[in-house]
Amino acid sequence: MSANSRLTIAVHMLSVLELRRRRDHEWSTSEQVAHSVRTNPVVVRRMLGDLRDAGLVESRRGPGAGWRMAHDATEISLADVDDALGAEPAYAMHRNEPNPACPVARGIRPALEPVYARVDDVVRAELARTTLADVFRTTMALAD
């Protein structure tokens, strides 16, 4: 089992757009963003497409094609980014139905569901409280 890194990659990409904007590059290509993330530009375009559909970024085609932030970084929360990607719970139940003949199997889901719901509430609150500008500021401070 591995952790979902989509939010991390999306925040990385948005931070690249923010850095380039601050360096007077209003529009950025998916290739430029992909260079920082070290992934294929197709992956970047696909994810930025989800962010565009949610209204977080804008795109244009033709000469000068590229991507840019649709809002100031102070107006975009990590919860907004997570929602744009199709937010998923932090923890999930078994993929397969547990053995109903086992008392642990019968009780484990009802025991864990409220715990996981509380965890998701805490995670969502923290993501909502944190803006892209917060992450960008810390990222740039740590990069020096």
Residue 131 belongs to domain spanning: 6-143
Give 105's contacts (C-beta < 8 A, 6+ positions apart). Answer: 98, 99
- Express as a percent the part of the chain with pLDDT over 90: 87
Tell me how far apart the alpha carbons of residues 81 and 77 are, in angstroms, rounded to a whole number. 7
Q: Is residue 73 part of a domain?
A: yes
Q: Is residue 1 part of a domain?
A: no
Are 127 and 78 in contact, with CB atoms under 8 Å apart? yes
Q: Domain containing 129 — which CATH number?
A: 1.10.10.10
Kindly report the pTM of this predicted structure. 0.90
Are 48 and 34 in contact, with CB atoms under 8 Å apart? no
Domain count within the chain: 1
Tell me how far apart the alpha carbons of residues 68 and 95 are, in angstroms, rounded to a whole number. 38
Q: Give yes or no for residue 1 having a pLDDT over 50.
A: no
- Express as a percent the part of the chain with pLDDT over 70: 98
pLDDT tens track for 56-115: 999 999 988 999 999 999 999 999 999 999 988 888 888 888 899 999 999 999 999 999
